[in-house]
Structure formats: structure tokens, C-alpha cells
Amino acid sequence: MNTPRSFNDVNDLNAYWMPFTANRQFKSNPRLIVGANGMHFKLADGREILDGTAGLWCCNAGHNRPRIVQAIQRQVEELDYSPAFQMGHPKQFQLADRLARLMPGDLNKVFFTNSGSESVETALKMAIAYHRTRGEGQRTRLIGREKGYHGVNFGGTAVGGMSANRKMFGNLVTGVDHLRHTHGIAENRFSKGQPEHGVEIADDLIRLIELHDASTIAAVIVEPLAGSAGVILPPKGYLERLRKICTQHGILLIFDEVITGYGRLGEPFATNFFGVEPDLVATAKGLANGVIPMGAVFAQDKIYDAFMTGPENMVEFFHGYTFSGNPMACAAALGTLDTYEEDKLLTRASKDSDIANYWQDAVHSLKGLPNVVDLRNLGLIAGVELKPRAGKPGARAFDAFLQAYEAGLLIRTTGDTIALSPPLIIEKSHIDFAFDTIKTILKNLR
Ligand code: PXG
């Protein structure tokens, strides 16, 4: 097979419209990945770079893990595809069962999708339909949060709260309102782990209930920890308070765990980590280690049961995807769960573990460097917030991204925040390299 090793022919770059990418800038100076192994990507020029972002928060077990590769190879020879509707194959049931066992509480029903965006749409539709099945069809309103990111489909864009993602796309889904975000509370700057201040922001939900009346609200959706908008942590007690208000008013609580799921916080899910059980959980990314697109929505038993009422020959939930639970994705996810289990990855960065403490110390060692205005961390996540250049938001952090790439480290930037979310197999030597590299860059970045 002919693996392209360079971008010699400029015309080659024209056809591909790249997602969430500055296309013209990229194509003028492309960055091509041709291989990966463990903690590293291999570039077209032969260099290796440390993966500080687990791909896009998804390769939690690191790259090219043998169990996952073999699981897919075996599957493709055995059963390539089976129809997702009115037919099943064994691995769907095995996988759902294993996942339900990982998730705490009553979140025992699992619906498969192909991405985080699809998981979000699925959860939102489940919430609205659930109320209708119970005779509360007037509960259609969805509440999201400012700075929230719930993927790019219409429902997720509507409940999301990043204006760049919303402003081009018209009215989106109507009947949506937003809580305020919890970013930028001055007293929380440079907090280690969960910040102390801001629990009262959860009371925004009471304000929205007073405005719209609880009887019109189907669900509240939040990321337990917001990744895309720049690593925004929930203040202590905040998620607990949201849960309490939702319960009091018959509103479903949806956690979007697309980035927090599968060990990112040192527990299988943020639901475990924070000890707060939502009614629905949207996941994707780490489920199949980013190797094959896959998502899963977890629903409490009571939600599934509410649908199981009509004639038994009738479809109960008119929703699903051609590739829901497809054999290759299920095989990859089962191989992923085996890998997580064997390497104990889902709890590797648990609170006060050696690696979580080392990570936290490394993050906060950046305090005092030029333009660093806040540092945030939880589990194996870090947010390094830089002061924006006057009139050029995002430019300083993007320069840091380019310099890090040249120096052998892959980071993500959103606005002027550097976000780090490495594979959970990271060792101390990698952490040293990543933060030494960032330190050198920040010392000299203008
Ligand atoms: N919800 C959340 C919380 C996410 O972070 C999605 C939904 C959508 O998932 P899909 O699989 O449809 O992309 C996401 C995706 C970043 C970054 O660097 C984050 C995401 C995707 C790409 C980059 O912050 N999150």
C-alpha cells in the first residue's frame, strides 16, 4: 500500500474540506500524521510527537493497542455487518451488559450511536419522548448552559452555548434556554482540582423554572466538566444542586460525558466521580478508544420501562441509526474495555493517586509564567488559560500550539486556553516532557 509521506502535490489538498480547521492555513503548511503507537504519533517527516490530547479526547488507552486491533481484525472476517433494526448480534448485548455494569445506579439501559453528537440528539429525544409516554407531552423545553458543547447536530448546537458554533445556523431548535456558565470566577483562579466558589450558579435553574414553569421543561443537559470551551470545572456542590432541583420539579438531568467518560477523571465516569446520578448519560469517544466511531447513551431503567407499554409488536422508540451497535464498533469497544480492565486504566488517575497528584503538580508549576491567567485540573485534564493578545483572541494560544507541535508535543487550544487530555497510560516522564516543553514555550511566547 502506498502511504502518502508528504504533501508534494498541492492539488491533493484541495478536495478535502476539513472539519473545525483553518483550512487555508493548514493547507499552506500541513501537519500530516502517518502512524501512531502508545503515547506517540508519527509524522510524515519521520518525527514522533507526544500525544497530549488522546487524539481528540478519545484514545484513552493510547494508540494501536493489540487487543483492540485484533478484535477488529477477527470481527471483520466473521461478521462484517448486521442490520441494526429488528435484528441483533451477540456483541451488542455483551457490550451493553458490560457497560451497564460499569455505570453506577439505575443507568442500566444502553442505546448505541456513532458519535458524541448522535448520543446527545438521542438523549434529548429520549427525554422529550419519555415525558410524552407518561402523559406529560407539554414538557418539551430543553435547558443547556452557556459555553456548553454538545456536538454539532441541531439539537446539540441549540442546547450548546459556544456562540461561534451557533451564530451561523439560524434559529436552531426552538424552546431552548440556557443556564449561566461557571467560568471566570475570580476567587477560583489557580484552584487545584474542583473549585470552591459558584455553587449558587445552579440556582439559575430555579430562575428558568420561574420563567417557563417546570411543567414545560423536559430536561437539563450539562457537561459535568466542560472540555471544548476551555476546561471549565463544576464548583463544589453545583452538580448536586442541579440534581436536587431537577428531581424536585420532575425535570430529567442529562450528563454529557463524551469527554469525561471512560476514565478521564480517574473513575469510569464523572457520574461515579462526582457521586451524582443523572437520568441519562451521553458518551462516545473513549468507548471504542477512538478507533471506530461509536457512542452510547445510558438511560435509567425507569426511562426504558416507560416506553415498554404499547402492543409488543410495535416499535417503542422511533429512533436509531443504520450503524447503531455495528459489529466492528462493538468488537472495538469490547477490545477497549478489555484493555482498560487489564491495565486498570479507568481508575488509574483516581483522586490522590500518584499519577493524578503528579499531573496536578505539573499543571500548577506553570503558575507565574508570562500571560498565564488561570490553571485548572481534574483527573488527567488540564486547562492553561492565557491572556489574549489585544484584539486577537486565540492567536497567542494557537502560536503555542504550533510551537509545541514543532517541539514534539500535540496540545489542543480553544480560544486562549490550552487543553491537555493525554492517554491514560501516560507516565511521569511524558508529563515532565509535556510541561517542560510548555514552560519553555510560554517563557518566550509574546
Ligand atoms: N459532547 C461533548 C461534551 C463533546 O466534547 C461532543 C459532544 C460531540 O462528539 P462528536 O463525536 O460528535 O464530535 C463532544 C466532542 C476539543 C474537542 O478539543 C472536543 C470535541 C470534539 C473535538 C474537539 O475540545 N468534543
- Give the domain CATH number at 92: 3.40.640.10
- Among protein residues, the one with the nearest Cα to ligand 1's atom 17 is 228
**One domain for residues 197 and 316:** yes
Ligand 1 centre to CA of 2 (Å) is 31
Given strand 372-378, what is the order of strands in its sheet? 372-378, 381-386, 417-420, 412-414
- Candidate of 18, 57, 118 to mutate for ligand 1, largest count of ligand atoms within 8 Å of Cβ: 57
Q: Is the same domain home to 336 and 361?
A: no
> Is 414 near ligand 1, meaning CB less than 6 Å away?
yes
CB 308 within 8 A of CB 316: yes
In a domain, 5, yes or no: no
Residue range(s) defining the domain that contains residue 437? 10-61+347-444
User: Which atom of ligand 1 is least distant from the CA of 156?
Assistant: 7
Determine whether the shortest distance from the Cβ of 413 to ligand 1 is under 6 A: no
Residues 177, 265: one domain? Answer: yes
The number of angstroms, rounded, from the C-alpha of 45 to the middle of its chain's C-alpha atoms is 30
Residue 275 and residue 106 in contact, taking contact as beta carbons nearer than 8 Å: no
Nearest CA to ligand 1 atom 22: 56
Alpha-carbon distances of 91 from 24, 36, 94, 289, 312, rounded to whole Å: 43, 27, 5, 17, 24
Q: Quick check: is 209 in a domain?
A: yes
Q: Domain check: are 355 and 231 in the same one?
A: no
Q: Give pLDDT tens digits along the chain (446 positions).
A: 345 555 554 468 999 999 999 999 999 999 999 999 999 999 999 999 999 999 999 999 999 999 999 999 999 999 999 999 999 999 999 999 999 999 999 999 999 999 999 999 999 999 999 999 999 999 999 999 999 999 999 999 999 999 999 999 999 999 999 999 999 999 999 999 999 999 999 999 999 999 999 999 999 999 999 999 999 999 999 999 999 999 999 999 999 999 999 999 999 999 999 999 999 999 999 999 999 999 999 999 999 999 999 999 999 999 999 999 999 999 999 999 999 999 999 999 999 999 999 999 999 999 999 999 999 999 999 999 999 999 999 999 999 999 999 999 999 999 999 999 999 999 999 999 999 999 999 999 98
Cβ(415) – ligand 1 distance below 6 Å:
no
Whole-number Å distance, alpha carbon 150 to ligand 1 midpoint, is: 7
Same domain membership, residue 217 and residue 80: yes
pLDDT at 6: 56
> How far, in Å, CA of 256 to CA of 127, rounded?
13
Q: Do residues 173 and 321 share a domain?
A: yes
The residue type found at 322 is T
Distances (CA, A) of 153 to 53, 140, 222, 235, 396: 23, 18, 16, 28, 30
311 belongs to a structural domain: yes
| Number of separate domains in the chain | 2
CB distance 385 to ligand 1 below 6 Å: no
Q: CA-to-CA distance for 430 and 414, rounded, in angstroms? A: 22
* Candidate of 285, 323, 381, 412 to mutate for ligand 1, largest count of ligand atoms within 8 Å of Cβ: 285
What is the model's pLDDT at position 12?
85
Cell numbers that stand for 427 in this block: 507516565
Q: Tell me, yes or no, whether 92 lies in a domain.
A: yes
Residue 136 lies in a domain: yes
Q: Which of 342, 373, 402 is the last residue of a domain?
A: 342
Residues 332 and 364 in one domain: no
Domain boundary among 308, 342, 376: 342
117 C-beta closer than 6 A to ligand 1? yes
Distance 313 CA to ligand 1 centre (A): 37
Question: Count of alpha carbons within 13 Å of 61, Cβ hemisphere only?
Answer: 29
Q: Which residues contact 26 (CB under 8 A, 6 or more apart)?
A: 18
Pocket test for ligand 1, best of 53, 56, 118, 231 (most atoms within 8 A of CB): 56
| 171 and 240 assigned to the same domain | yes
What's the gap in Å between 116 CA and the centre of ligand 1?
6
Which atom number of ligand 1 is nearest to the Cα of residue 260? Answer: 3
pLDDT at 1: 38
Among 307, 326, 342, which residue terminates a domain? 342
Inside any domain, residue 330: yes
- On whether both 208 and 301 belong to a single domain, the answer is yes
**For residue 99, what are the CA distances in angstroms to 103, 109, 273, 277?**
6, 9, 16, 16
3 within a domain of the structure (yes/no): no
Residue 1 lies in a domain: no
- Residue 421 CA: nearest ligand 1 atom is 18
Residues 114 and 162 occupy one common structural domain = yes
Strand bridging mode 33-37 / 40-43: antiparallel
120 CB within 6 A, ligand 1: yes
- Please, where are the H alpha helices in 79-184? 90-102, 116-133, 154-159, 163-166
- Report how many helices (DSSP H) and strands (DSSP E) the chain contains, helices first: 15, 15
Q: Identify whether residues 365 and 399 lie together within a single domain.
A: yes
Same domain, 44 and 143: no
Indicate if ligand 1 lies below 6 Å from the C-beta of 144.
no
**Residue 114: CB within 6 Å of ligand 1?**
no
| CATH number assigned to the domain comprising residue 411 | 3.90.1150.10
Q: Which atom of ligand 1 is nearest to the CA of 116?
A: 9
pLDDT attached to residue 8: 54
